[in-house]
Amino acid sequence: MDRRKHDLVTIYNSLFERFGPQHWWPGETPFEVIIGAILTQNTSWKNVEKAIASLKSSGNFSPKKLYDLPIDTLAGLIRSSGYFNIKAKRLKNFLSFLFDEYKGNLDDMLKENVSLLRNKLLKVNGLGPETVDSILLYAGEYPVFVVDAYTKRILIRHGLAAINSGYHEIQALFMENVSEDTQLYNEYHALIVRVGKDLCKKIPLCNLCPIEFDLQK
């Protein structure tokens, strides 16, 4: 087995054995997942939950109602998410895309060919690769691997990626060496976030990390 494939499989098995299933993404509907993916940029999930609760309690939590809502009102409702004026614009940009391209029908959007939809979403102002791929994986259930800062940090520290590796280079590493499976990609990304938050911090706790031990077997 290729070393990279072996190491990526070992990392997954190691993390799953330590932490177990993570039950991601925390959202009741694909629409909620998409809103959460946009709001979670540069903030904690706890703050996103507050913003989503605010949107729901306002009675505006649907594509059409948020599309019609004045942007200043929307910004006020998502204040807890931080950078709320910027995020209100990003939400509006996504909603405009949804209505312009799919007449507001989220089901139709999520039936689109994955490559075509990904390219379209990446053209929406304010949606970068990580946010778009989170939408595709967690809302659309497409087998697309999501890469975040924790992913890059872990791979660099274990010699699987260079410091200057880009998003798509790291994504390709996973998608070429890990079985193309939506649930597996879901769980793997969630486990990476878990170990990144708990152990692989800026000052790493390597002596407590199962990856450190298992890769050296």
Distance CA 100, CA 97 (A): 5
pLDDT at 1 over 60: no
Token pair for 156: 């660099």
pLDDT of 91: 98
For 47, residues 6+ apart whose C-beta sits below 8 A from its C-beta are: 80, 81, 82
pLDDT at 2 over 90: no
Among 53, 11, 46, 39, smallest CA distance to 184 is for 11
- Report yes or no: 100 and 106 within 8 Å, Cβ to Cβ: no
Q: What is the mean pLDDT of residues 38-56?
A: 95
Distance CA 208, CA 186 (A): 24
Is the CATH number 3.20.20.300 carried by domain 30-139?
Answer: no
CATH class of 3-23+145-214: mainly alpha
12 pLDDT tier (thresholds 50, 70, 90): very high
* Amino acid of residue 166: G
Q: How many CB atoms lie within 10 A of CB 164?
A: 7
Radius of gyration of the chain (CA): 18
User: Over the stretch 190-202, which tens digit does the pLDDT of each residue have?
Assistant: 999 999 999 999 9
- Half-sphere exposure for 134 (CA within 13 Å, toward CB): 25
Q: Cis omega (within 30 of 0) on the bond before 25?
A: yes
pLDDT of 122: 98
Q: What residue spans in the chain does CATH classification 1.10.1670.10 cover?
A: 3-23+145-214
Q: Cis omega (within 30 of 0) on the bond before 45?
A: no
User: What is the pTM for the complete model shown?
Assistant: 0.94
pLDDT at 217 over 70: no
Q: What is the mean pLDDT of residues 142-161?
A: 95
- Report yes or no: 78 and 84 within 8 Å, Cβ to Cβ: yes
Distance CA 158, CA 168 (A): 19
Token pair for 101: 């391209």
Angle at 187 between CA 131 and CA 63, to 5 degrees: 40
User: Over the stretch 97-119, which tens digit does the pLDDT of each residue have?
Assistant: 999 999 999 999 999 999 999 99
pLDDT of 212: 77
User: Over the stretch 73-90, which tens digit does the pLDDT of each residue have?
Assistant: 999 999 999 999 999 999
Distance CA 175, CA 117 (A): 18
pLDDT of 4: 84
pLDDT of 214: 65
pLDDT of 26: 78
* Amino acid of residue 61: F
- The average confidence (pLDDT) of the chain is 95
Q: What residue spans in the chain does CATH classification 1.10.340.30 cover?
A: 30-139
User: Over the stretch 162-192, which tens digit does the pLDDT of each residue have?
Assistant: 999 999 999 999 999 999 999 999 999 999 9
Distance CA 23, CA 193 (A): 12
User: Residue written as tokens 């925390």?
Assistant: 26
Token pair for 1: 């087995």
Among 6-10, 70-74, 88-92, where is mean pLDDT lowest?
A: 6-10
% of residues, the chain, pLDDT over 90: 89
